[in-house]
Amino acid sequence: MEYEIRGGAFPIVICTLQEGETMKNETGAMSFMTSGMNMETNTGGGLLKGLGRALSGDSLFLNFFTAENGTQQIGFSAHSPGKIIPFKLDGTNTIIGQKNAFLAAEDSVEIEIFFKNKLGTGIFGGEGFILQKFSGEGIVFLEIDGEVIEHELQEGETLLLDPGHLAAMEETVGYEIERVKGAKNILFGEGLFFARIQGPGKVWIQTMPISKLAEAIIPFIPTSTG
């Protein structure tokens, strides 16, 4: 599989597949495909894996696109303004991504739900608690909301950030969710929770999570008066 990422704030990745090669994605990301692509939809590894994705806020089903009749092309578009970042997995490295970051991947990439805190906290704590794990061999494309800041944490180096701004990280990075202490901080500060991440490993930080973009737009949406 070969690919090219085009566009600025509204990017698309165009993948060129040889006959027999397969890409997978969640519903809604496919922009176009040539007529020699075959599409099938299933849970992508069984009902339990599908339910795991649904629990993280993603679709129960995956779409699988296979090139037939020679070389074919397919395009996957980002859902919101931002970047599309390719991650190459070689069987020894693993990427942990935000629950809504997955765009598309080669069929050989494994996708699993990833927890680092108690289930209840993950469900009720908001964005950033339930993540996805990408492993195996192949390329996975993640979408980053807004601009992306790549930072390599040294051994023991720590960052605190809003959970929604953590787009992706290497599996070697430690990750914990902490409650904000103090009534004033909770009521007038940055929110109820921080993500504490600790090196070693790379992290990718997004500048405008889609949830915050939605919050910024809501006050400007006209409301019905009648």
Q: What is the pLDDT of residue 56?
A: 54
Residues 111, 134: Cα–Cα separation, whole Å? 5
- Evaluate the CA torsion angle 101, 107, 110, 113 in order and state its sign: positive
Helices (H), the chain: 47-55, 119-124, 183-188, 210-217
Q: What is the mean pLDDT of residues 160-169?
A: 92
pLDDT higher than threshold 60 for residue 76:
yes
For the chain, the average pLDDT equals: 84
What the block records as the tokens of 71 is 């070389």
pLDDT higher than threshold 70 for residue 37:
yes
Residues 165, 225: Cα–Cα separation, whole Å? 36
Q: What is the pLDDT of residue 119?
A: 42
Residues 207, 64: Cα–Cα separation, whole Å? 31
Residues 30, 124: Cα–Cα separation, whole Å? 31
The residue among 223 and 33 whose pLDDT is bigger is 33
The residue among 28 and 140 whose pLDDT is bigger is 140
Q: Which domains does the chain have, with CATH numbers?
A: 2-212 (3.60.160.10)
* Partner residues linked to 170 by β-bridges: 95
The residue among 191 and 66 whose pLDDT is bigger is 66
What the block records as the tokens of 155 is 């051994």
The residue among 48 and 161 whose pLDDT is bigger is 161
